[in-house]
Each structure stands twice: as C-alpha cells, then as structure tokens.
A and B are shown apart, each in its own frame.
Chain A
Amino acid sequence: MEVIGKSVIRKEAQDKVTGQAQYTHDYHTSKKLSGRVVLSPYGHARILSIDTTDARKVPGVRAIITGEQLPLTGESMRDRPPLATDKVRYHGEAVAIVVADTPNQGDLAASLIQIQYEVLPVVHTPTQAFQQNSPLVHEHLGEYEREKDVYPVPGTNIAHHVKIRKGNMEKGWGESSVTVEGDYSFSPSDHAAMETRSSTAEITPDGTIKIITSSQAPFMVKQLIASYFDEDIGKIVVDTPLVGGAYGGKASVQLEILAYLSSRAVGGRAVEIFNEREQDMMMSPSHIGLDAKIKIGADHSGVIKAMEIQFLWDGGAYSDKAIDLTRAGAVDCTGPYKVDHVWCDSYCMYTNHTYAAPFRGFSHSELSFAVERTLDLLAKKLNMDPLELRERNAIQPGHTTPTRVLLNQSNVGNLQECISKLRTLIRWEEGPVREINERLVRVKGVSCSWKTSTIDSNAPSGVILTFNRDGSINLMSGVVEIGTGTKTVLAQILAEKLKMDVDKIHVRMTVDTQTTPEHWKTVASRGIYMAGRALLEAADDVIAQLKEIASIVLRAPIEDLEVAHMKVFTRDDPRISVDFKDICYGYQYPNGNSIGGQIIGRGNFILRHLSHLDPETGEGNPGPEWTVAAYGVEVEFDRRDLTYRLIKAASVIDIGIVLNEKAALGQVMGAMSMGLSFAGRETFYYDEFGRVLNPQLRTYRPIRYGENPEYLVDFVYTPDLQAAYGARGVGEHGLLGMPSALGNALSLAANVSLHHLPLTPELIWKTKAGNV
C-alpha cells in the first residue's frame, strides 16, 4: 500500500505550530456578550431564596437568568434542570447566569446575587448512596421522562440497573476449587483538557439558532436543543472548530444549553459562556468514580469458572451519560477472559458529586482496575505466573462475551498474541522483581483489556466528496478533529483508494451541522471505523461517476477502465486516458458541446446487527468488535519512603492495521500517559459538604514533562473484516490497562494489596498501616 501506514503529516499541522489554529474561544465578534455562571457553594442544599436586586444595578448587565420554568434535560433520562431550582445537588452546579457586556461586569454582578441555602445531608459515595437509609439525591425519580431501556428504582438513589446473567452460578462455584474476592473504590476525577469548554449562541431575527461550541457531539447538541426546548431542528446550526482535547468530556451537552438560554434572554444577541478552569472542573461533567466488588472462582489449573461482579458507578448528581457508562461497564465486566458463569449487577448511583461524562475508555479502565487486581490476587493464591493465568483464560473466537455474543476471527482480536509479544517487550523472562539495593526495587505489573463500543445501534456516519477544478478533492465528514488526526487519516484512506497524492485531498477541518454530513459523535474510537466505511462508499460512488463519463470520452467500456494519479485510463494501455480535471465538472468537446456535470460523491455507514440488551439477562449485541490488548508497567519503588518512579510502560494492542504510524503511536502513548496520570495522581478531594477541594491545575496535578516513563508500544494485526482496511478502534486502548498494571506492580513492590486510586505513596502507607 502506498499511503496507508505512512506517517503522513497532519493536514492542520502548520496551523497548529503557528498559532493560526482556531478553537471555539478564539472566534470573536465585537458585539459578543459574556455569560457568567453562579455556582453552588455546597454539595447538597435547598435553595431558600435568590435575590438579584443589587446585581441588576451593575452597569452592563443585560439579563439575569435563574432556574424556574425551564424544562428538565438529560440524555437518557431527563432529571437535570439546566439551572438548579429547588435544590442544588453538587458543588459547582449552575444556579444562575448573568449576561453582561464584559466578563468583569458579569463577575461583579454575579458576586452580588444573594442566595440563601439550607444545607442538606450529603451523599458522598455510591456505596453510601446504595444503603437503604441514605439521603435521596432525587425525591421524584419515578416521574422523570426516560428512554425505555433505562431502569431507575424510585425511592432509592439507583438511576439505572443493568443485569448480566450468564450460565449457572451454582455450577460455576461448584467447579471452582479456589476463590478470591476484592472490593475497590475511587472517587471522580477530571478530563482536564487543556482547552476548557466554551460555547457561544446567537439567535438571528429569522429564528436561526447559531451555536459555536467546543464539542465532540455537535449533531447531538442540535438534536437535544431542538427536543428540550421544542425548537425547529432545521433552524439550529452548530459549528465546531478544532477542539483542544476532549477525551470524552466534551461529548456531554451542557454549556450549549446555558449559552442558548442566555442568548434567548437578551433577544438573540450573541452570548459566550466560557469556562474558566475551576468552573470547567466543578460545573462541567467529570470522570466517573466507582465502587466495585469482584469475586472470581477458578479450578486448580487456573481456569476461571465463575465471576460475580457488582459495580456501583458514581454517576454524580444527574444520570446523563452515566446510564450508558453503567451499561458499557456491564457488557465487558469480566475483562477479556472466557467465563461461562457470570453474574453482574451494574448500578448507576446518584451521589452529590459533579455528574459524569464519558472518559476515554468509557468505563473500561475503571472496571479493568477492579478485575485485573483480582486476577493478580488469584495468581498469587494459585502461585501462578500472572501472565500465564491471563493467557490460559484469554478470550478467543468461538467463546461468548458476558452478553452472549459469539466471537469470531473478525470481531475479536488475538489476545494470546498480544500477551506473547508483551512478554518479549517487557523482558518478562527476567521475572517481575529486580532488587537494586536495600532501598530500591524494580517491579513489573501486567494486565489485559478488551473493549467494544456500546454506541447507539442506529448511529450514522456520512461523507461527501466534491472536486475542485484542478481535479483535487474536498473531503467532508462530520467527525470532529479533537486531536486524534482522524481527518488526516481519512485523507489517507481516500488517497489509497483512488491511488492519488494525499496532498491533492483537502479535508474540511471544521464541522457545521447544516452542511457537513452527520457523524453521530466523535467518541468511542469509532471515528475511522464508521467514517472510513462511509468514505469508501463515497469513493466508490466517485469512481463510478468518473468512469461513466470517461467511458464516453475514451470510447471504452466501463469495465476496461482504471483510476489512478487523478486520471481515468484503459487498463491495457494507460496512455489512453483522461484527467480528473477534464471530467469532474463535465467534459467539453472541442466544439463546445458538454456532457456529464459536477461529480459529487456520497457515502454513509451504519453499524449492523447491534441490539438492545435483555433487561433480565443482559443478552444482546452491544457493539461491533472487541479490540484486545496486554500491558506492562515497571516502577522503581523506594521501600523507605514508599515513593516510586515510573520506569517503563508497555502496550501491545491488536490494531488490525496501522493507518498512520506516528499518529497511531501518538494515540497509544498519549492514552497511556493519561492512564498513568489517572492511576497515580488524579482524583477530586471533597470535604464534608461535598465541596471539591482541588479544582485547579496546581492542586489537581496531571503528569508533566519529565515525569513520564519510557513508552514501549507494539501491535498485533488481526483485521476486522467490517472495517476500512481492517483497522480496529485504537484511540482509547492505551489507557485501559494502565491503572491495573500500575496497581499490580505497586502491590507486589510494597507487598500489600492496593484497592484504591490514585496510587499515591500515601495510599500505600495507609494500606500498610491497615487504615484505608
């Protein structure tokens, strides 16, 4: 292949190194007003009164909006007022918006709004939320409008419950001679994209609602605003320029609603809501937390017989995407292993935390931490090599998943090969422990993962191709460029297919929902998977049209024609040819007669055979394919002060095929970095009022330059027959096994069993002292 696999430079590279790349907040019109949001100072409190008298007197204030009379919102269940009304349910929840000429005026007015609260008991963890006597976050859970496959339990804090019942548990435990169990927990954390979220809305005199937003889901913004506020969907146009990092956090629809309400309140003038960092971390949806219980049974040789799993997801104050996260965790609950008897209860719990957005990996790094730590406990009990234990139970074609999908050579990658390549990559033959001196020891931990993408079963993706007069092509897809290089990779796929120079393919970088064909959401590592297929169909469409007109011009049957290098030519004698540029806008004969016309290619793709899950057993087909991977992390642990240094981190992923080498490596290593950061240092800390104590990048501290380990990446190549050129989704997978591999390494190094995140020296110390 000519272009596929090459490290083609990103199409937007020059813009990004010269400061010309524009993100949402970089667009500005002089007449734009500023919307400043008043946030809840408590985790859970009743709102007694809101007095805006003084605030309204501030010069420049154009409107103040509070929550009464607004419809409820929420993606799968409408439980969230856009602005809190009778009570606040999390620290940082939006209570009021001040629209003013400048941000300063808005801030001044916001500080003068007097709100009286009566503090209520706080639900701090999903486990507490699950107890019978827990305070309720939502008193009227039964009354919310919801999709039909959402199962809330009124009178409790359970927003949704997914059950997996596979095989026969009694039989499974009966066949098990060894069992292990573990409880795990971690609090919510943040995506911390460097670009904080922002949205601008404007309503023009003809009723067109224009929104510019930093989003992974512009088409969903359009759909939801139309449906929440009963607006004409054809009059909503959502623009998404480049996005400065997203990682799932920008797949939720929140600021767009606030911007729309603000513009509506000032007669349609443009209003921008821009999150400063604290607001971005507290008010906008965060990375989900989890309390999990895992029990595994196996026979003497280490063959897993049964698994019982309980997930209590910390969905926070509103259910929004947490409902889907709860389901995604359930469908892959066992990890990538063959287990015949599975019992899993996955609950979406309400707590008084910021509600959850998707986070890169969509529940899988989280569930992996719990499952893979328990597998290491099993290996220890069996006195077995932890990699061998994983290899023995590795999922394969012919096995079924927890939701009973029968796997085949195409829909699941080759985990055993990933494990065997990992062995070499991390020099497993040296053994997991290497003594350096009395104080220092180098230790390796391993883990595995799998993931399918539980996206909507009818999610669409479309591509349109048009020509320029020189025969070059414009490629339009609704995939948002969030940093993953997807647009460039699409250009490569097209260049490969048409055998042309990738520089002659121009991609449209921004998305606008009026003229760009829809791509459901840029999430779930499904960008290339779906848009790639739509693109191939559009390319076939273009080829057919080119050949049709060329066959007349060249006086040759269509079957004899080939396309390459921006020409159509006869297969046996390429000299008989016509250039794209002479036919893509119709062909003109010397006397002026013309035939054909503008060539426009179109293609679309929709996933096939996906189904809803059975509410009692979970049976159903949740996603198109399972990407599998194996991981290792090596740390240098200091036995004296319990600190550690990351030495190496390795991932081996079954990628199907590499489409752009450096971009793929960048995706995998970047995801690994994020996974290690989440695993080792990231969490929100709360006080007794449920207040977030560290909503800043100096107290919430992601990995910085020089703190990173050496990264080792290798691939396995089992093509997915449904995907363009066989490529599997890979944007998230580097992350999935990092928390568990690091947890396994540190547990071995410190000779304790670590069950919480982040894996800080303090956690190790507390665990050793028996006081977590």
Chain B
Amino acid sequence: MTTVLTSQENARIDACIEAHRKMPGALLPVLHAIQNDLGYVPEEAYPQIAHALALSVAEVHGVVTFYHHFRRHPVGKHVLQICRAESCQAMGAEKLEAHVKSALGIDYHQTTADGAITLEPVYCLGNCACSPAVLMDEELYGRVDSQKIEAIIHEARVSA
C-alpha cells in the first residue's frame, strides 16, 4: 500500500527530522515525532530519514518494523488499545475483547469502515489494579465492561 505524500506532508516530515536529528540516537525520537504528527510512519519517508541520519533505508525499515508502536499505515481517527495481559485476563479481558471485535466488526490491527476507530492489542497499561483496562488515544480507562466500552466508543465517534 504505497501512497504518494503531499508536499505538505513532506514538509512536516522534514520538520520532524530537523527538530530531532542532532540528538544522540535520534532515530526513535524522529520516528515518534513523525507518527505523532501523521499518525503513522510512511514508507516513502524512509529515504529522507535515512539520508538525514546517515543510515541506510534498510536500517530505518528494520527499526520501524521491530517496534510494535510504530505503524506503517494510516490509522483511523481514534486508536483503541485493549490490554490483553494477565491481570486484565484475570478480570475478563477476553470477553471484553470479543465484545469489542464484534461491536466494531473488526479484528486487531484493523480500522472500522467509517475510518473512526483502529483496534490494537496492548500488553499492560499499568492500570492493573483496576483491570480490565483500555486506552482510547491517550485517555486511559479502568474496570471496563461491555457497557462502559460502548460508551467510550460512542464518545469517540461523536467527537470525531
């Protein structure tokens, strides 16, 4: 899935690179900045990044693909992360996960047809005293059941 970046997107990527390239070990900060801005790290940006940091395109590709956090494709307006780790399992995360998947009609790493919500698994959000936990964008929720998740999803949809 290759897309052509607009010149505006290219300029934003350049700005992200410029702001961080002088840091020691700059690659992760650069990738974070790009993803924060565009929502993902487009493959078309690898040569720019590689050139600025004196790396090979293969090295940039290797790093982007190594880390679960970095996305290679555009995502929905909102990203919903459901914790799959042990503490949340002990409090019914599996049921919650099944409910969300069927309510949204998607599996993990997919986006709803209306482009509103991308679903991702996550392994612990540090909210284990109030499991199950989910993160909607940067908003954390605890003791989430089917009813609560419906409300969270609804709120995200209307705010979109």
Q: Are the chains A and B members of one assembly?
A: no
